[in-house]
Structure 1
Amino acid sequence: MNKELREFRRLERVCLEQAALSTMDLARGGLLKVADDCRVAAEAIEAQSPRRPFASAVQALKRALSVTRIPHRH
């Protein structure tokens, strides 16, 4: 799984670099689309991999903070 993750990240980086160098709009758009697809695939692989305890704690804290809201005083 790490090999696949590294490969998708590498392909994403290469596509972004080539898109930055491209002078043709169609080629640039295609490269950016492929880079985005590679990013989505890499994120899906990362979501499946077991997280370390610290990363899990950070994610739990983010979820808790996003739910907690300070009430407005009237």
Structure 2
Amino acid sequence: MNKELREFRRLQRVCLEQAALSTLDLARSGLLKVADDCRIAAEAIEAQSPRGGFAGAVQALKLALSATRAPNRL
């Protein structure tokens, strides 16, 4: 699970760095949202007890994304 945690943290840092360099508001906003999703997923992994490696990371990301995204309704 440490590998998945490190990867989410790395992706978070990369997204934040790229957002800082971005000149387009839409790109910056998207990168910041992805960085936030990665942070939430990493925190969820840290909060979980050790379990099935990659499956646990995927489950944590699903939970994090479902908690932060509101459904689009017209």
Do the structures match in fold with TM over 0.5?
yes
Q: How does 1:61-72 map to 2 (within 5 A)?
A: none
- Separation of aligned partners in 1, 2:49 and 2:9: 15
Could you say which residue in structure 2 is the equivalent of 1:10? Answer: 10
Structure 1: which 5+ residue stretches go unaligned? 51-74
Q: TM-score, normalised by structure 2?
A: 0.65
AA aligned opposite 1:27: A
Structure 2: which 5+ residue stretches go unaligned? 51-74
After superposition, give the CA deviation of every residue in 1:6-62 in whole Å (9 maximum; x if it has no partner).
Answer: 000000000000000000000000000000000000000000146xxxxxxxxxxxx
SS of the residue corresponding to residue 14 of structure 1 reads: helix
- Separation of aligned partners in 2, 1:14 and 1:26: 17
- Separation of aligned partners in 2, 1:49 and 1:43: 12
- Separation of aligned partners in 2, 1:3 and 1:49: 15
Could you say which residue in structure 2 is the equivalent of 1:39? Answer: 39
Q: TM-score, normalised by structure 1?
A: 0.65
Q: Moved runs in structure 1, 4+ residues, more than 6 A?
A: none
